[in-house]
Chains A and B, each alone.
Chain A
Amino acid sequence: DTAVSQTPKYLVTQMGNDKSIKCEQNLGHDTMYWYKQDSKKFLKIMFSYNNKELIINETVPNRFSPKSPDKAHLNLHINSLELGDSAVYFCASSQVGQGAYEQYFGPGTRLTVT
């Protein structure tokens, strides 16, 4: 059983398009995250949602909009894609409490913008 799943695994698209990446977790966790990993392998948090509410929104362009229809899903929609958006995007989830607990990551979505 896949704990955190993402679709699609690969996404190739042209500049200016709008695309979405979906994420689902079946762990019953309260909190979900989106990370971006660039070509230098630096993993940076973008968003965090706790019980469908946004709790972290790092300095991410507003072309990126997360949407959480329920606490098991956190989708990432990207408008007007740019070359610099090319990266691997990871979804993760965790159960939070006094401090961050271990996070479970999805397999990643490799986005290539041409």
Chain B
Amino acid sequence: SQQGEEDPQALSIQEGENATMNCSYKTSINNLQWYRQNSGRGLVHLILIRSNEREKHSGRLRVTLDTSKKSSSLLITASRAADTASYFCAPAGAGSYQLTFGKGTKLSVIP
């Protein structure tokens, strides 16, 4: 399995602004997943994007995937205070059951 590296490590924005966080990985993938963790809680799955997809939307979330650059980005539009959390990417290789999480991006949305 491989670990994604999220960037930036921390991000602070005003409510209503957009938040963009990036993920880089090293080897080929079957899919890449994004998760959110609110303080003191378990991770919550947000979006899974397959290696043959370039963009995916879910509500205010937009994920892009560039397999040539081995990178992905998560955009949260019109952020809310409730979006304050840590966000993790998890690249998943073919045939692997395992997800390896990086250190995440800690997003703070200021009301």
Choice from B29, B40, B98, B103 contacting A45 with Cβ under 8 Å = B98
**Which chain B residues lie closer than 8 Å to A103 at the CB level?**
43, 45, 99
CA distance A56 to B99 in the complex (A): 11
User: Least Cβ distance of A39 to chain B in Å?
Assistant: 13
For chain A, what secondary structure do more than half of its interface residues adopt (helix, strand, loop), or is it mixed?
Answer: strand
For residue A84, CB closer than 8 A to chain B, the reply is no
Nearest residue in A to B93 (C-beta to C-beta)?
A99
Taking a contact as CB atoms under 8 Å apart, the answer to whether A100 and B45 are in contact is no
- If the complex has contacts A41-B86, A96-B97, A99-B95, are A105 and B104 also in contact, measured as CB distance less than 8 A? no
CA distance A90 to B88 in the complex (A): 15
Which one of A4, A45, A90, A100 has the greatest number of beta carbons of chain B within 10 Å? Answer: A100
**Which chain A residues lie closer than 8 Å to B41 at the CB level?**
107-108
**Which chain A residues lie closer than 8 Å to B33 at the CB level?**
100, 102
For residue B71, CB closer than 8 A to chain A, the reply is no
Write the residues of chain B forming the contact surface with A, with a CB cutoff of 8 angstroms: 29-31, 33, 40-45, 48, 86, 88, 90, 92-101, 103-104
Subset of 23 A-B contacts with CB under 8 Å: A4-B42, A41-B103, A44-B101, A45-B100, A48-B98, A55-B97, A56-B98, A90-B43, A98-B30, A99-B93, A99-B94, A99-B95, A99-B96, A100-B99, A102-B33, A102-B45, A103-B45, A105-B42, A105-B43, A105-B44, A107-B41, A108-B41, A108-B42
